[in-house]
Chain A
Amino acid sequence: MDRDIIERVARAAHLALTEEELTRYSKDLDDILDYFKVLDEAPDCEGIGVNPIEVADILREDEPHMDIDTDRLLRDMKTYEGYVRGPRLS
């Protein structure tokens, strides 16, 4: 795979790759994409669908309620005064 593409994908994924990794992933991603070529042999999908099992028209009414204790949800996260701690931003 083209080295420029690897660099762009890495940048979009916020990954800082070394020279050695860039070379290695060029080959690895080529192998992965080759593997997916098997899908070219698959028959075309008929009709519209975003899930192989039909999921359609599932809507809920606009009724607010909370049924989970938010302290439990945040228990295993690093927090500061109720905020979730995130990474350093440049």
Chain B
Amino acid sequence: MKIGLEVHVQLPTESKMFCSCPTTDAEAPNTHVCPTCLGMPGSRPVLNKQAVIYGIMLAKMLNCSIDDTTWFSRKTYFYPDMSKSVQITQYDHPIGGAGMYYLNGKTPIRITRIHLEEDPGKTKRVGDLSSLVDYNRSGIPLAEIVTEPDLKTPAQAREFLGQLIADIRHVIDLPGDGERSIRCDCNLSVGVERCEVKNVTGLKNVERALTFEMIRQTKILKSGGKIVRETRRFDEERGVTISVRKKELESDYGYIDEPDLGIFHIKNMVDSIHIKESPLNMTLRLVKQYGIDENTARQLVSTSTKIAEIFEELAKTTDVQTAISWTTGMISANWKAFEMRDESHEHIIELVKTFKDGNMTDTECNLELKSFMTGTSVESVKNASADLEVIINKFLDGNPEIVEDSRKNDKAANRVIGHVMKETGGSYSSADIVAATKKLISARF
């Protein structure tokens, strides 16, 4: 079985790709439009520099080769979501080609290309099958990442996409919400001919759509049938793929070069752009550089790459074990609250160093950290913490077997967490309960 993906990423620019219309969510349909994104005769596109910068960043992330010269093409297709009947995209000189991306840092997945293109408008069908079109989305910049058919199973495709999305979000600071989204076209073949399932959103749906398609194609071939190359869509509610239209051949799109935009020489931009380390690369580097467990490294990076950076600072100024203990414990537990505050993390480092130097007890450091990270007074933290500890201790007194079980089974403490949540009606965060439970159980060993 062969699976290849085409991943469409909306780039987080403030204005559209070829005109200055805003990319923010609009209050009403067709209000963020102009003659260019409506494809009116006489209008001319002008390329957004930031879209090119994001394209180069992603091409670098995917280890693509990037030529100095790039340009755009017109892809002809007739559908109401593209009012000028051509989509401005890239064909024979995309921004990046022949890349390589490693799943889990090990399995190589070849990247055919990454190109820039404009998003079409949104079409909705009404009762009599006529269409209503909103062109607010028309012209939003997209990067399309095309893989070679190197993925072997629907589960692997899901894993790949999850990792890719996390890396993309980190490298180009892509917001995780709103209209900006990542859509996926999934190509799957169990024999000779492939089918494409268009516009699947969400990791789970990608796996579901591919699994359905795998079973459907296998059944056809087993019964002596033939797979017809076609485009299908995924019905999320029913979990099935449905034939949409016979797929156009590449030649039907009638690609021609886009003369209005001309050509672009991007070598200087490419040389001046440096990308942030991706979460996966950071995870692998932490394991190698500090000799820590891969799951711990992954936990740190997935909570926030900033926590991983704090870990590195602490590992250098204290020691690796102290750094792990505080970053995976108290610092991770209060990270969400800390992110809401516009504070530097310098004080966190100072507090842990003070503890390590022996000028503060473990309990004092916990209180000071929580107070600083949540913006509440030490006194309030102390009271809340004391109340929480009373509840936990009382439960442990009544159920001493939990302490014994915890020696062999990490999950034994879950009973305490469940009890406290129920008892306090959610007054304490689960992270706080976990941290306090671990501390009090350890004290009884």
Contact = CB atoms under 8 A, between A and B. Distances in A.
A90 B69 contact: no
Interface residues of A, number: 38
A66 B21 contact: yes
A55 B34 contact: no
Contacts of A80: 132
A75 to B, nearest CB: 12
A56 B262 contact: yes
Contacts of A73: 33-35, 38, 40
Interface string A18-49: 00000000000000000000000000000011
A81 B124 CA distance: 13
A50 B20 contact: no
Nearest to B21: A66
B120 to A, nearest CB: 12
B261 A89 contact: no
Interface string B110-149: 0000000000000111001111111100000000000000
B130 A86 contact: yes
A1 interface: no
Contacts of B131: 85-89
Residue among A14, A62, A83, A86 with most chain B CB within 10 A: A62
A16 interface: no
Given A62-B48, A62-B49, A89-B131, A14 B78 contact: yes
A73 to B, nearest CB: 6
A58 B262 contact: yes
Contacts of A60: 20, 46-49
Contact of A12 (B32, B34, B50, B248): B248
B252 A12 contact: yes
A33 to B, nearest CB: 14
Interface stretch (B23-31, B177-185, B416-424): B23-31
Given A73-B35, A89-B123, A82 B29 contact: yes
A8 B252 contact: yes
Contacts of A57: 262-265
Interface residues of B, number: 52
B14 A90 contact: no
B80 A50 contact: no
Residue with the greatest number of chain B CB neighbours at <10 A, chosen from A54, A68, A90? A68
Given A49-B263, A83-B134, A62 B47 contact: no
A74 interface: yes
Nearest to A68: B34
Nearest to A83: B132
A34 to B, nearest CB: 19
A12 B15 CA distance: 32
A80 B126 CA distance: 11
Given A57-B264, A62-B14, A70-B30, A50 B257 contact: yes
Nearest to A66: B21
B85 to A, nearest CB: 9
Nearest to B34: A68
Contacts of B32: 66, 70
Contacts of A14: 78
B13 interface: yes
B34 A58 contact: no
Contacts of B134: 82-84
Contacts of B40: 73
A52 B262 CA distance: 10
Given A48-B69, A50-B257, A88 B263 contact: no
Contact of B125 (A13, A56, A89): A89
Interface in B1-33: 13-15, 20-24, 28-33
30 contacts: A12-B78, A12-B252, A51-B259, A55-B261, A55-B262, A56-B263, A57-B265, A58-B47, A58-B262, A59-B48, A59-B52, A60-B47, A60-B48, A60-B49, A63-B14, A64-B20, A66-B21, A70-B30, A70-B32, A74-B30, A82-B30, A83-B29, A83-B30, A83-B132, A86-B123, A86-B131, A87-B80, A88-B131, A89-B123, A89-B131
Given A58-B262, A62-B15, 7 more contacts: A58-B46, A61-B50, A63-B14, A64-B22, A85-B133, A86-B123, A87-B131
Interface of B: 13-15, 20-24, 28-35, 38, 40, 46-52, 69, 71, 77-78, 80, 123-125, 128-135, 248, 252, 257-265
